[in-house]
Amino acid sequence: MTLAEQVLAGDRLALARLLTLVENDDAQGLTALDELYPHTGTAHLIGLTGGTGTGKSTLVNQLARYVRSEGIRNTDGGQSPVRVAVVAVDPTSPFTGGAILGDRIRMRDLAGDAGVFIRSMATRGALGGLANRTRPVVQTLDAAGFDWILIETVGAGQSEVEVARMAHTTIVVEAPGLGDEVQAIKAGILETADLLVLNKADLPGAERAAAALRTSLRLGSPDPMGEGTGWTVPILMTVATDGAGVAELVESLCQHRQYLAASGEWERRVRLRVEREVRDLLQRDLLARLLDRQADGRFDQILGQVEARQLSPRAAVDLLMRQAGS
Amino acid sequence: MSHSKGRVIIAKPGLDGHDRGAKIIARALRDGGYEVIYTGLRQTPEMVAEAALHEDADAVGLSILSGAHMALVPRVLELLSEQGQAGLPVLLGGIIPDDDVPALKQQGVFAVFGPGTNTAEILKAFGSAVEARRAAT
- B90 vs B48: CA distance, rounded Å: 11
Q: Are residues A116 and A209 in the same domain?
A: yes
pLDDT, tens digit, 9 for 90 and up, residues A136-175: 999 999 999 999 999 999 876 655 678 888 899 999 998 8
- CB-based contact (8 Å) between B18 and chain A? no
SS3 call for A283: helix
Residue B1 lies in a domain: no
Residue B65 lies in a domain: yes
- What range does the domain containing B44 cover? 7-136
**Which whole number is the average pLDDT over B64-75?**
93
- CB-based contact (8 Å) between B35 and chain A? yes
Interface mutation vs chain A, best among B54, B85, B119, B123, most A CBs within 10 Å:
B54
Q: Are residues A163 and A198 in the same domain?
A: yes
- CB-based contact (8 Å) between B31 and chain A? yes
Q: Mind telling me how many Å the CA of A217 is from chain B's nearest CA?
A: 37
Mean pLDDT is lowest, of A132-141, A282-291, B87-96, B110-119, for: A282-291
Q: What would you measure as the largest C-alpha separation in chain A, in angstroms?
A: 69
Q: Are residues A96 and A186 in the same domain?
A: yes
Residue A6 lies in a domain: no
User: Which among A263, A295, A311 is the end of a domain?
Assistant: A263
SS3 call for A294: coil
Q: How many CB pairs under 8 A join A and B?
A: 91
| Residue A99 with chain B: CB contacts under 8 Å | 4, 30, 34-36
- For residue B126, name the pLDDT band (cuts at 50, 70, 90): very high
pTM summary value? 0.90
* Contacts of A15 by beta carbon, 8 Å cutoff, 6+ apart: A6, A7, A117, A140, A141, A144
Give how far Cα A223 sits from Cα of A191, A194, A226, A266, B14, Å.
Answer: 10, 11, 5, 16, 52
- Structure confidence at residue A58 (pLDDT): 93
SS3 call for B112: strand
| Residue B56 with chain A: CB contacts under 8 Å | 16-17, 19-20
Contact B55 A93 (CB under 8 A): no
Of A262, A267, A269, which Cα lies nearest the Cα of A75? A262
- Structure confidence at residue A298 (pLDDT): 87
* CATH code, domain carrying B119: 3.40.50.280
Q: Are residues A149 and A289 in the same domain?
A: no
Contact A105 B39 (CB under 8 A): yes
Q: Are residues A167 and A293 in the same domain?
A: no
pLDDT at B107 over 80: yes
- Structure confidence at residue B2 (pLDDT): 56
CA B50 to chain centroid, in Å, comes to 14
Q: Are residues A45 and A138 in the same domain?
A: yes
Q: How many residues does chain A have?
A: 326
Residue of A nearest to B34 (CA): A98
**Which whole number is the average pLDDT over B97-120?**
94
* CATH code, domain carrying A198: 3.40.50.300
* Mean pLDDT estimate for chain B: 93
Of B33, B55, B56, the CB nearest to A97: B33
Q: Are residues A292 and A207 in the same domain?
A: no
- Structure confidence at residue A191 (pLDDT): 78
| Residue B26 with chain A: CB contacts under 8 Å | 100
Interface mutation vs chain A, best among B12, B25, B36, most A CBs within 10 Å:
B36
Hey, how many other C-beta atoms are within 10 angstroms of the C-beta on A118? Answer: 25
- Structure confidence at residue A34 (pLDDT): 95
- A129 vs A52: CA distance, rounded Å: 11
- Structure confidence at residue A186 (pLDDT): 58
Residue A21 lies in a domain: no
- Structure confidence at residue A212 (pLDDT): 83
Contact A111 B54 (CB under 8 A): no
Domain count, chain A: 2
The sign one gets for the Cα dihedral A77, A83, A85, A86 is: positive
User: Which among A225, A240, A263 is the end of a domain?
Assistant: A263
Residue A34 lies in a domain: no
Low-confidence ranges of chain A (pLDDT < 50): 185, 326
Of B7, B33, B83, the CB nearest to A96: B33
Q: Are residues A298 and A252 in the same domain?
A: no
Residue B2 lies in a domain: no
- Structure confidence at residue A221 (pLDDT): 54
SS3 call for B83: coil
Q: Are residues A283 and A251 in the same domain?
A: no
- Spell out the alpha helix ranges (H) of B1-137: 20-31, 45-54, 69-82, 101-106, 119-136
Q: Are residues A97 and A164 in the same domain?
A: yes
Q: Are residues A195 and A289 in the same domain?
A: no
- CB-based contact (8 Å) between B20 and chain A? no
Residue A224 lies in a domain: yes
Residue A104 lies in a domain: yes
Q: Are residues A185 and A49 in the same domain?
A: yes
Mean pLDDT is lowest, of A131-135, B15-19, B67-71, B111-115, for: B15-19
- What range does the domain containing A58 cover? 40-263
- Structure confidence at residue A182 (pLDDT): 52
Of B1, B32, B47, the CB nearest to A108: B47
Residue A173 lies in a domain: yes
Domain count, chain B: 1
Of B36, B55, B84, the CB nearest to A100: B36
- A23 vs A229: CA distance, rounded Å: 36
Residue A31 lies in a domain: no
**Which whole number is the average pLDDT over B106-127?**
94
Residue B57 lies in a domain: yes
User: Which among A263, A295, A310 is the end of a domain?
Assistant: A263
Contact A104 B83 (CB under 8 A): no
Residue A11 lies in a domain: no
Q: Residues B30, A43: contact at Cβ < 8 Å?
A: no
Of A24, A98, A118, the CB nearest to B36: A98
- Spell out the alpha helix ranges (H) of chain A: 3-8, 12-23, 27-36, 56-70, 134-143, 181-185, 206-219, 246-263, 265-293, 298-307, 313-323
